[in-house]
Amino acid sequence: MSKKSQALPVDTVKFSSFYHDAFLRLRKDKVAVCCLAFVILLIIVAVFAPIIAPYPESYQDTSSILSGSSSEHLLGTDEYGRDILSRIIYGSRVSLMVGVVAESIAVVIGVTMGALAGYYGGKVDMVISRIIEVFASFPQILFAIVIMFVLGTGIINVFFAIGFVGWTSVARVIRSQVMQLKSNEYVEAARASGGGNLAIIMRHLIPNCLSTIIVIITMEIPADIMYEASLSFLGLGVQPPQSSWGEMINKARTYLRANPTYSIYPGIALVLTVLAFNLLGDALRDALDPKLKNL
């Protein structure tokens, strides 16, 4: 076989993995880059909170209660004299952890159920789809509240409640993706080489759903953060003195006249975070797989 037939124009192909290509596409979208920067900033803030925050979370400066912005307290203080900026910074930890942990739980349950339903079809699909429908037909926030009543309050329980409630959307999407993917010939090729069902699902089907999973995670995280905020707002989430943005907005209601900015700043933090994740999710979807535009 002459060399000519093997020749790949090496110069045209630099290191080109699938994710590298996607990253290049993402880089072109200015909005996406901003959102990505914001998310990274948020992560840094959350991780290094004890270093960044000017005051410890529960430090009470009794000399300034419900004060507005000052040189000592950039965003003012709450009813206990705690620095709002610091509490917002610590609160970012809660939001991010909810996003990551709750969503991880949702993804694990959702991908498993969706992949099994999509791959096996038939009776398995029928049973799992009915289960999905039952879970999905509950209004999510109500369901989360019920779970919290059962499990009790506290941040760990919040993770489970939200994760347990949010898996259905993941499952549905993964199910339809797997149903499409399983008709690809590489699945047949794997079977022809002696691959078992589980091996095929793990090696071929789920990795090919990875873009979808990343996009879903990015778009569901804002929803999860909002649920946590709602739960904390209702008093069911984090317990004092731990701060979360929802909890702060809740408490601030009573003191609106005294210090209106008390509720506004955490609110801004919440809105910006949700917006950033949403826009990033959109852009990631386009960058990872332009064919997913209808997701």
Partner 1 sequence: MSEKLLDVKNLSTYFYTNEGIVYALDDLSFSVKKGETLGIVGESGSGKSVTVLSVMRLIQSPPGKIVSGQIIMNGEDILPKSKKEMKAIRGDKIAMIFQEPMTALNPVFTIGSQIMESLRIHQGMSKKQARKKAIEMLGKVGIPLPEKRVDEYPHQLSGGMRQRVMIAIALCCNPELLICDEPTTALDVTIQAQILELINDLKKEFNTSVLMITHDLGVVAQVSDNVLVMYAGKEMEYGSVRQVFQKPLHPYTRALIDSIPTVENDRELLHVIEGMVPSMSKLPGGCLFHPRCERCMEICKAQKPELYHFKDGRRVRCWLYGKEEDGGDSDE
Partner 2 sequence: MNDSLPLLSLNNVRKWFPVTSSKLSERKSYVRAVNDVSLEIKKGETLGIVGESGCGKTTLGRTMIRMYKPTGGQVVFDGKDITDYSDKQLRPLRKHMQIIFQDPYSSLDPRMTVSDIIAEPFVFQKLYTKAERKERVEELMALCGLDPIYARRYAHEFSGGQRQRIGIARALALTPRFILCDEPVSALDVSIQSQIINLLKSLQEKVNLTYAFISHNLNVVYHISDRIAVMYLGYVVELAPRKELYFNCLHPYTKALLKSIPNIDFDSEPIKAQLKGDLPSPLDLPEGCAFCTRCPHVKERCRREVPSLREAEPNHQVACHYAEELG
Q: Which is nearer to partner 1, 12 or 63 (CB)?
A: 12
Q: At its nearest, how many Å lie between partner 1 and the CB of residue 8? A: 9
**CB neighbourhood size of 228 (10 A):** 30
Q: Where are the alpha helices (DSSP H) in 152-260?
A: 155-181, 185-192, 197-200, 206-208, 210-233, 245-252
Q: How far apart are CA 245 and CA 97, in angstroms?
A: 13
Whether 105 and 97 have beta carbons less than 8 Å apart is answered as no
Q: How far apart are CA 145 and CA 135, in angstroms?
A: 14
Among 55, 92, 99, 98, smallest CA distance to 77 is for: 55
The answer to the question of residue 17 lying near partner 1 (CB under 8 A) is no
Binding residue (CB under 8 A) for partner 2 from 40, 146, 189, 272? 189
Q: At its nearest, how many Å lie between partner 1 and the CB of residue 15? A: 15
The answer to the question of residue 58 lying near partner 2 (CB under 8 A) is no
Q: Contacts with partner 1 in 20-39 (CB under 8 A)?
A: 28
The answer to the question of residue 150 lying near partner 2 (CB under 8 A) is no
Among 283, 292, 276, smallest CA distance to 42 is for: 276
Among 253, 252, 250, smallest CA distance to 230 is for: 250
Binding residue (CB under 8 A) for partner 2 from 63, 71, 185, 257? 185
Report what 47 binds from partner 2, partner 1, none; CB cut-off 5-8 Å by kind: none
The answer to the question of residue 7 lying near partner 1 (CB under 8 A) is yes
Query: φ, ψ for residue 276 (rounded to 5)?
Result: -60, -45
* Binding range to partner 2, per CB under 8 A, among 47-55, 56-64, 182-190, 271-279: 182-190
The answer to the question of residue 13 lying near partner 2 (CB under 8 A) is yes
Among 249, 273, 275, 243, smallest CA distance to 262 is for: 249
Q: Across-strand partners of 47? A: none
The answer to the question of residue 51 lying near partner 2 (CB under 8 A) is no
The answer to the question of residue 191 lying near partner 2 (CB under 8 A) is yes
CA 261 to chain centre: 27
* Binding range to partner 1, per CB under 8 A, among 3-11, 69-77, 85-93, 238-246: 3-11
Binding residue (CB under 8 A) for partner 2 from 108, 127, 142, 210? 210
Binding residue (CB under 8 A) for partner 2 from 16, 70, 239, 254? 16
Hey, is 195 helix, strand or coil?
A: coil
Q: Report the interface residues with partner 1, using CB under 8 A.
A: 2, 4-5, 7, 9, 11-12, 28
Q: Report the interface residues with partner 2, using CB under 8 A.
A: 1, 3, 5-8, 13, 16-18, 184-186, 188-196, 199, 203-204, 207-208, 210
